[in-house]
Structure 1
Amino acid sequence: MSPSQTDYYEVLGVARDATPEQIKKAYRRMAMKVHPDVAADADSAEKFKQVQEAYEVLHDPNKRAVYDRGGDPMGSGFSGFGGGQGFDGFGGNFGGAGFDFTNLVDAMFGAQSSRGPRSRVRRGQDALVRAQLTLAEAAFGLTKPISIDTAVVCPTCAGKGSEDGQEPVTCTVCDGHGEITQIQRSFLGDIRTSQACPNCRGFGSIIAHPCTECSGEGRVRHKRTINVKIPAGVKSGNRIHLEAQGEVGPGGGQAGDLYVELIVANHETFTREDDNLETVIRVPMTAAALGTTVQIATLESEREETDEADRWVDVEIPTGTQSGTRLVVEGRGVPNLRSGRRGELGVTLLVQTPTKLDDEQRELLLRLAELRDETSVVPKMTKHGKGVFGRLKEAFGG
């Protein structure tokens, strides 16, 4: 079409003062929109030719200048995409030399159509295992042996994948490229598409005699034990990262990383709240009333290497202690994972009232109640001398 018949700016949907970058982006957008392999319109081929022609003119400063002055930019003296062929540069009206849609997309988006053979040696995946700890192990840390089942380098072929140790041979189907090209004919010409070679699976080479141990993979599954250093103060959900201890990759490639997720079991005596330890002890009613000192086993007592002096802690119970009272022992909690500073040990007292009394005990308690004037339960009086029922009576105007 001549410039008088076609508005190239309108075809691409850009302003007349559009920058080269704006023209390029508009061309990419319109080319993908109206291409016959994408659009279902009957005139998509003609629209695509217009888009191509508009871009050929507007992206070239000299042709654009001629077009803006009202001249014919497609006349003599200007070569098209095919070098002196005008718009037939994509191979003679999209036909003679063949049209490669893959190359068109690559040209627009800067990609490379050829993938090439992929390597047999690749990095392995990361692995995750879980390890259960006691509360003492989590609190004070240790080096713990952990059994894992991962892929390791094949001991038979040392990762080469070949039974006889020979190098892979070039694939005769793809000639070592790792991909094959298929050509389909259409009214636009020949459309070429590429895919991984089915004979070599994209490697570009074939292992003539695969290792019988790993079937050519260069790796096998194997159970092994590793020693994991667990720092003091960890808690459930914490993960330890071990570099290159995960799955060995295909072809004996670099191993991935291993993550050890820690799970701390519940304790019979202690519960953990952040860096503090909490426990509950029962004390007799008489001990709570008179006051006493009790000896409590610490969490350190579960460790063989703990000194005898650290296995126990004395807790003083004051006279008249009530049930639910919480006493604190500093520095007997869990070490902080970062600072190492230990939390506190909280001891909650549960005062026990005797349920079974013999005659002598009952007599002693009755005597105590008489001495304390507690033989009958009377509602506590307010400072105005009125009890609960008296206040209710006043509230209702009685």
Structure 2
Amino acid sequence: RYRLTITFEETAFDCEKEIDILRTENCSLCQGIGCKPGSQPSRCPNCNGTGQVRRVQQSIFGRFTSTTTCSQCHGEGRIITEPCPQCRGTGKEKRQRSILVKIPAGVDDGTQIRLMGEGETGTRGGSSGNLYITLSVRPHQFFTRDGDNILYELPINFAQAALGIEVEVPTLDGKVKLKIPAGYQTGKVFQLKNKGIPHLHRSGRGDQLVTLRVVTPDKLTKKQRQLFQELANSLSPAESR
């Protein structure tokens, strides 16, 4: 198993990552057999090559037969009398490998990718297992994710909220223009169709949901305070609440 960290943007587009792993592979000298080149394993004399030992016990209740794994060959049915000098008879050795991982668009934090045949090697020259890559997604500066939808909070001042404004909103595909009509309040959600994360196992994409947040200034200049006071005086009681 291997944990691979990717960026938020890389979850939305097909990408490739090269990883370096240390894994067990067949010995390059004996090809995983474990014997010195030119020699062969011999049949285990303890189990006669079966890998199991049968024992018959006699008791007052009758005869009982038990079968256990051979302690001499450890169930393999053969023993190595001339071990490989490179792997010392294990048939395995550690090697550093670089592997290219293809990451499909639509993955999420915790998604697992299976690489067939890239895992640890089998016993005595057997085939290799699989390598499982678990993805960890690095948080984005201002995007968050809800399923395949992208969430973005857009701050504007209350003058812009009152008058309306056209702004540029960042998306994974670049900036797009969004028109904010006059009078909208904090919490209003605008939907940017097909600007979200691609669906992993089907076509199409999610949306980007832009939530409006009207920001009230906490520091005002003398001129700004005067203008706000004039505005407050011009509003009716219902409008000023």
TM-score range, shorter chain: 0.7 to 0.9
2:134 matched residue in structure 1: 261
How many equivalent residue pairs? 241
Per the alignment, do residues 334 and 199 of structure 1 end up closer, same or farther by CA in structure 2, a change over 3 Å counting? closer
Amino acid at match of 2:78: S
Instruction: Single out whichever of 367-376 and 208-217 deviates more from structure 2.
Output: 367-376
Distance in 2 (CA, whole Å) between partners of 1:284 and 1:177 is 82
Amino acid at match of 2:79: I
Is there any run of 5+ residues in structure 1 with no aligned partner, and where?
1-127, 301-310, 379-398
Q: Which has the higher contact order (CA 8 A, sep 6+)?
A: 2
Residue number among 4, 7, 12 corresponding to 1:139 in the alignment: 12
Residue number among 333, 338, 349 corresponding to 2:196 in the alignment: 333
1:156 matched residue in structure 2: 29
1:294 matched residue in structure 2: 167
Seq. identity, %: 38
1:240 matched residue in structure 2: 113
Once the two structures are superposed, residues 32-57 of structure 1 have per-residue CA deviations (whole angstroms, 9 ceiling, x without a partner) of: xxxxxxxxxxxxxxxxxxxxxxxxxx
Q: Are residue 224 (structure 1) and residue 87 (structure 2) matched?
A: no
The 5-angstrom pairing of residues 114-125 of structure 1 reads none
Per the alignment, do residues 362 and 248 of structure 1 end up closer, same or farther by CA in structure 2, a change over 3 Å counting? same
Which structure's residues are more often strand, by fraction? 2
Distance in 2 (CA, whole Å) between partners of 1:377 and 1:371 is 9
Shift of 1:323: 1.6
Distance in 2 (CA, whole Å) between partners of 1:191 and 1:366 is 101
TM-score normalized by the length of structure 2: 0.88
Shift of 1:376: 11
Is there any run of 5+ residues in structure 2 with no aligned partner, and where?
none
Shift of 1:260: 1.8
The 8 Å contact of residues 29 and 37 in structure 2, kept in 1 or not, is answered as no
Distance in 1 (CA, whole Å) between partners of 2:194 and 2:62 is 83
Amino acid at match of 2:191: V
Shift of 1:296: 1.9
Aligned-residue RMSD, C-alpha:
2.5
Per the alignment, do residues 199 and 377 of structure 1 end up closer, same or farther by CA in structure 2, a change over 3 Å counting? closer
Shift of 1:150: 2.4
The 8 Å contact of residues 219 and 249 in structure 1, kept in 2 or not, is answered as no
Shift of 1:170: 2.7
2:219 matched residue in structure 1: 356
TM-score normalized by the length of structure 1: 0.55
Per the alignment, do residues 335 and 196 of structure 1 end up closer, same or farther by CA in structure 2, a change over 3 Å counting? closer
2:180 matched residue in structure 1: 317
Q: Are residue 201 (structure 1) and residue 64 (structure 2) matched?
A: no
Shift of 1:197: 3.4
Question: Helix, strand or coil: the match of 2:83?
Answer: coil
